[in-house]
Structures are given as C-alpha cells and as structure tokens.
Structure 1
Amino acid sequence: MHEENLDGALAAAQDGDEAGFAALFHTLQPAVRRYLWVMVGNAVDDVAQETWLQAVRDLPRFRGDSVAFRIWLFRIARNRGVDYLRRVGRRLERPDDEALQERASVHDTVQEVFDGLDLAWALRVLASLPRHQAEALMLRVVAGLDVPQTAQVLGKRPGAVRLATMRGLRTLARHPEVLARQAARRPRPPSARLAGEPSWRTGEVTR
C-alpha cells in the first residue's frame, strides 16, 4: 500500500473504522513479523499479537502521519520483544557507539547479497547475526525506515545505527552460505563446462 493510502487507512482507524485498521494490519504485519522473528525467533506470533494489542489500545492517543505510525509501531514491537527476552532471561547485545560513514545504500547492498534467494533462508541468515546488527538491518530494509527513524525505534544515536548496519552488511558479505550461493549463481567460463553441456550462447555442445 502506498504511503498516501496508508495515511487514509490510519485516519479511518483512528476514527474507529475496522476496515482502516485492517488495512494497517495487513500492510504492516508481514514486516512486523519478519523483524520480530529475527529478534525473538519462535515466539514471533505471541510477541506480534502483543504488539498489535497495544497498538489498538493506544491508537486513539497516537498523533502523526503514516511514517510516524510506522516508527511508533516498530518501537512497540521492539519493546514487546525486549520484554519477552527479559522474561526468558536473554539479553540484547549493544554495539559500540562509534561513528561510521554510510558508504552505500543499505537496501542495494542487501539486495545484492540476497538477490534471487528465498525469504526464509535470508531471514535465517540474518538471525545468525549479532542481534543489534540484525535489528538495524531489518528495520532499514524490511520496515523501510531511514537511519534517524531506525534510531528512534532502537533508542540509539544515528551513528550507532550506521555502525551496526555496516558491520551487519560486512558480516553478511562474508557469510559462507551467502558466498556459496553467490558463487553458484555466477556464470561459468566455457572451459569450466562439462563435456556434453550445451553453450547458452550458441547451443553448441562441448567435446
């Protein structure tokens, strides 16, 4: 759903329109679940439900447009995820707070790493990252938030978000499974083809 349509759904939901809230839910729930899956694993459904229950309860007090709503919703999701991790005795990792200039588009870099790969596999690989790196990447790529917006959700400074994002990207780029899949997708030179395999350019068969 385009952002202007999401604004309309938000306004309707705040007026008590169930169809408006349903539009918000169906548009944002997939991203909420993917983010929470990386954060809390198999507890994703319970934590997502807690997130939306709080959103329903607090929506009349929310003020802002659909972009602000997206930030607000993911902040709720993160808070509920942190609560869950505390209940089960797990701790969030915290990145060093040092500045790092963002050298490339996060979406483009992740797209390059995961281009053509299935979502379930990509999420599993992301979940193997340190948690602060996985959260930053999920909010940037899946939720579509920029650095300042992601910083608002995570309660960190933009420099820490950039650092976690770039470290996560470097880790992904070196991940053995990512490297293996990238290598498998590269076209082989003619000399590397097996005998009897047709050339994709000429249709000729190597001898």
Structure 2
Amino acid sequence: MGKERGDRRAHVHDTELGDAVARAQQGDDTAFSRAYRIVHPPLLGFLRGLVGDDAEDVASDAWLEIARDIGRFRGDGAGFRAWTASIARNRAIDHLRRLKSRPRATCLEHDLAEMPARQDTAQEALEAVSTQQALALIARLPRQQAEAVLLRTVIGLDGVTAARVLGKRPGAVRSAAHRGLKRLEKHLAPLRGQGRVTDSAPHALGGAR
C-alpha cells in the first residue's frame, strides 16, 4: 500500500544516516555531507509546503543551525530526521512571522483514539502526481493539516514522533493528517478526471536519497 511504500522509502537509509551523523559529530566533514544528501531533499520538500518559494533560504538557515548544534544531538537516523524537521519548522515559523503572513490556524484539533484505515487512498494518489503538484496541493491545506501531512508523507515520521515535533498530542496529529489527506482526495479527483495526474510520481515526494 502507499503508506508502506512511503515508510520504506523514509527509513531505508536510517542506518546509514545514523552512522553518518555519528561520524559527523566526530568532525568528519564527508560524513556530514552524506547526512546532508540524505536529509536535505525531503526537508526541502517539507519547507516548500510551508513557505513556498522561500524554502531554499529557510533551509539554509536551518542547516546553519543543524551544523552548529549537531554535537548536541542524541539519537539514531530516524531521530535525526525528526530533529532536523523540528529545526526547519522553527525557522519556517520565524520566517512567516517576519513576513507577517503566517497562515491562519485551524480550529482546535480533536483527539482520536486511532486514525481511520483509509489514509492509503490519498497517499497512493499523491504518488501519482508530480512532486510540484503534490506540494502545491498540500500547501493549500490549513496549516496544521499541512504540517501533519508533510511530516508523515515527506519526512516520513511516525505519528508519535510527528506529534513531538509539532508539540501536540499524537491523536491530534493523526486527526490533522487524516483530515488533510481527505481534503487532498477532493483536490486530486478533478486532476484525475482532467488527465493532469502524471506518472512522474514522486516517489520523490519523500525526496531522492
């Protein structure tokens, strides 16, 4: 299913990433470059969904902080993805505040015991459109839903870790991701009908590794 494929893509390099981060913390510049090449593409996709064309600038700020503070990081490859996503999100929020164009917040999220099973439908549909199309559609979601979907599908975080990044309860993040994916299904339906869904699927939505 779509979610399983996304999870495999998100985690396939976590062992390699964890090793690269450990060596980078010892001052190995080549290892830091490898960690950057693994993490940067999905991180940039995440930022494009938050700040659009300013993503490159915000990513640069985030990587300056990541490089400065990498010695303080404790964890594995998956943990590093979450840590870098949290830094990038904070830089994006700062950027939006400076522009005084922070997206309108959604209503208070309701906690759910568990996410409904049909999350796969929209995720599979997202894999059938171009990366640019997918990120543009996600960017149209209310902010909390966009963040939840981006962290789950682009960064590849599980619900608990995504909730930690967002400072929310896991149930609230599951609810936001589910509602966001349901909205995306509605946006994708006309594209499918008009034949605008492409085959240049972005297994790249999660970023080239």
TM-score by length of 2: 0.82
Given residue 99 of structure 1, which amino acid in structure 2 is its aligned partner? Answer: D
Aligned to 1:33: 44
Q: Aligned-pair distance for 1:41?
A: 1.1
Q: Deviations over 1:80-123 (max 9, x none)?
A: 011011111123514413123301264x3333222421111111
User: When the two structures are aligned, how many residues end up with a matched partner?
Assistant: 182
The structure with the largest alpha-carbon Rg is 1
Whole-angstrom CA distance in 2 between matches of 1:115 and 1:60: 36
Aligned to 1:182: 192
Whole-angstrom CA distance in 1 between matches of 2:101 and 2:148: 19
Q: 85, 103, 106: which is aligned to 2:116?
A: 103
Given residue 183 of structure 2, which amino acid in structure 1 is its aligned partner? Answer: T
Q: 86, 96, 115: which is aligned to 1:85?
A: 96
Q: CA 1:160–1:112 in structure 2 vs 1: closer, same or farther (change >3 Å)?
A: same
Q: Aligned-pair distance for 1:142?
A: 0.8
Aligned to 2:9: none
Contact 2:123 2:181 in 1 (8 A): no
Whole-angstrom CA distance in 2 between matches of 1:65 and 1:115: 27
Displacement over 6 Å in runs of 4+: none
Q: Aligned-pair distance for 1:139?
A: 0.5
Aligned to 1:50: 61
Whole-angstrom CA distance in 1 between matches of 2:181 and 2:69: 35
Q: Aligned-pair distance for 1:134?
A: 1.0
Whole-angstrom CA distance in 2 between matches of 1:140 and 1:33: 14
Q: Secondary structure at the match of 2:117?
A: coil
Aligned to 2:205: none
Contact 1:95 1:132 in 2 (8 A): no
Whole-angstrom CA distance in 2 between matches of 1:2 and 1:88: 36
Q: 98, 117, 120: which is aligned to 2:132?
A: 120
Aligned to 1:188: none
Percent identity of the aligned residues?
Answer: 42
Q: Aligned-pair distance for 1:133?
A: 0.8
Whole-angstrom CA distance in 2 between matches of 1:95 and 1:162: 15
Q: Deviations over 1:25-78 (max 9, x none)?
A: 111101111110110111111100011000000011111111111111110001
Aligned to 1:59: 70
Q: Aligned-pair distance for 1:20?
A: 0.7
Q: 18, 21, 25: which is aligned to 1:10?
A: 21
Contact 2:58 2:92 in 1 (8 A): yes
Whole-angstrom CA distance in 2 between matches of 1:21 and 1:109: 36
TM-score by length of 1: 0.82
Q: 161, 184, 193: which is aligned to 1:172?
A: 184
Q: Gaps spanning 5+ residues in structure 1: where?
A: 186-207
Q: Gaps spanning 5+ residues in structure 2: where?
A: 1-11, 196-209
Contact 2:152 2:159 in 1 (8 A): yes
User: Larger RCO: Structure 1 or Structure 2 (Cα < 8 Å, ≥ 6 residues apart)?
Assistant: 2
Q: 109, 116, 137: which is aligned to 2:149?
A: 137
